[in-house]
Structure 1
Amino acid sequence: MSDQFKARPHDPYNVYTSPNEAILCLDSFQSMYTQMLCGLLNRDQVLRIGAIFASGLLRAIRFLQLNWKLLVHDIETGTLNPKITDPSIRECIFHLLQPNTELAHFIAKKCSAENWEGILKRIWPNTKYLDVIVTGAMAQYIPTLDYYSGGLPQCCIVYASSECSFGLNLNPMSKPSEVSYTIMPNMAYFEFLPHDQAEPPFYDESPSRLVDLADVELGKEYELVITTFPGLCRYRVGDILQVTGFHNSAPGFKFVRRKNVLLSIDTDKTDESELQSAIERASLLLREFNTSVVDYTSYADTNTIPGHYAVYWELMIKDPEKGPTREVLDRCCLAMEESMNSVYRQGRVADNSIGPLEIRVVKNGAFEELMDYAISRGVSINQYKVPRCVSFTPIMEILDARVISSHFSPATPNWTSERR
């Protein structure tokens, strides 16, 4: 909404297909609909497609799946859907929208096909890459984006948050797993708290341990602490970063994980990266069935005795007749448990303090409804991330109401007692 954006000078390397009125519209449906319409009208001029986070881009694809018939009608007739009521948008689109039967028939043919593999490349043929963050927890979306984009490169260009910008990826065409961000020292004052594997109070988190930007060491992990121009003083962002190298004297960092523990039943502590790794291991069992995990979140269910981890999965099954069986999904539960740390497995095997892990498969679109709920409560669509652990009752009700099957680990994971 800033004047810097509204009155920005023309930049030939950063041209939007949509007018400002569509981009800045506060109604998410009207904004998304109009931007998608403009993107289709200018499909041959589009060179890149993106959103801040991968989840936002997938939401746009899902929006196209649900609304392509309405968009085709507008393009064919040269009229704007009456659901778009914002007068400033209607005035802008009035000058852009002309009847185009050929384009309408083309889009209808592509979108009506059951197979949406490579749909982005087929509709926007000149697209060179996806401009989207797929590091950290967003790595979960890489296979789905590969499917819809036909394997277009996924470029993670900037590392930033709502507090300030942090760094740039100086090798933007690198693989998502190899992305490293070089910190820009003029954006804020950066300090780093050495991160140990132990949790407080077993290690010192006092300010005296803070390390300046120039003093970080290669290969070590740190928690990012920032002091910003608007006034945040030694604010702990909560990101754990690993030093990967240096550009001149400026260090580069790989995003490792969020600091906070996600799940805990007893003495176990499972963080975001552990959960992500467990999901990836279990997903390998789904490959032969042409199935992947579209999205997930988790919940420490203490309503049972003993309590257990419940993980919600939304699946993309490319061939429903050859999808994974109940037995396969049960084995996915066990595969996840095999990936957990030794404290978790001890609780499962020896202490019996943790029950079998559960996977709750939800119907398609459940996580989109979760996003809609968050947006209705004031969350910015550009800042929204799927929570990897939930406990808020309304969110639980949304997910539980959409569960179509439930699966439990059929056995206990491997664990061996070690003497010290």
Structure 2
Amino acid sequence: MKYRSMFVAQSGGPTSVINSTLAGIITAARQQLQVDRIYGLIHGLEGALRKESIDLTNLNQEELVKLRHTPAAILGGSRFPLTDEDISKVVKFFKEKECHYFLFIGGNGTMDTCLRLQNACREINVDIEIIGVPKTVDNDLEVTDHAPGYGSAARYVTLSVRDQALDLQAMQRFEQVRIVETMGRLVGWLAAASFLAMGATTTINPLFIPEVPVDEDEFITHIDRVYREQGYVLAVIGEGLHNKKGEPLGNKPFAGMADNGCHTVRTGAAEYLAQLVNTKLGLRARAQILGMNQRSFAACVSPIDEEEAFQVGQAAVRLAIQGSGGQMVTLVRKGDSSDISSTPLEKVAGIEKKVPLHYYDPVNKRVTPEFVTWLTPLVGEISPVLWREEIQKTIIPAYAACGGVTNSGR
């Protein structure tokens, strides 16, 4: 039997569990007689172009356990746009290193790169099995029910938004409106997760997702209605909101990200809408950006997300060894758990999965019960909190409560 090398890389933004996938790959690959060495490329395929890699073959068990529970991407993420010439150079690098298996962990852009690499290899008869390994907090990969990384990010958003709502409820006589902006680019999966732990008494707080264009007048009317009914408004928005003309809603490209061939990263929607509320309604409003903790916060890792991430890595190795190159590992929902399968890269490469409209109520600006049922198993158990509405039906005037005599006067 001829022994061959396996290369693995991480691409795009990190997640809280992407290193668990890497640990799964290393664990499974070391059990395969066909695999001699396991190498990790530094910063995605930039590692191949720069000839930068790490030998991962001999990590001990303690290191693998630590790796499995380490957030972010230990090999380094990458948003480097690859030309056709770069693809040829990567294939040449793999050929020189006698690589027979390449596993690439990433999102839909990464899957597109996997497809380009697989096609380039086949065109010149280079025998390399290329497997796409899913990860993305945005959850915008097609075919797979969900992507590793999303469950943990959704858990962070769920808890953060719930606690922001409690905070704003406490401070409503000082600050009336808070616009919370989540990651997700042009999809609203993360923003929608905010409703999971909001409690039945607070679900009039509105949600605005990029899949549904926003009319500014309608937005202001809805904020005003919720404020009059509740006394405060915690609105959650996806960062990629746009108006009915298809224009980004108050957004601007993140510095240096407009024209480099990568996914456009935008900021500013929450600030724009908060200022709109200040101007139109005269209410105190501020923007709250949840920030980078959404994708790399170890304290909010979902147990099922971490386990699935590890299993997905193991499955990717099995696909590669079986000679099933040109595939991406997928998760197929089976009740509260998932089975592992695969799909051709052509079905996922560069394709963006939107939030289905049956998961969103555009009139009441909230998710549907069907979405809550779908999401709940992915985030793990959420400890309940006590909302003021559960104990306060009416505010009792001080004098009326004690027959016109205050406690201090007794």
Do both proteins adopt the same fold according to a TM-score greater than 0.5, normalized to the shorter chain? no
Q: Which has the higher contact order (CA 8 A, sep 6+)?
A: 2
Answer 1 or 2: which has greater strand percent.
Answer: 1
TM-score, structure 1 length as denominator? 0.25
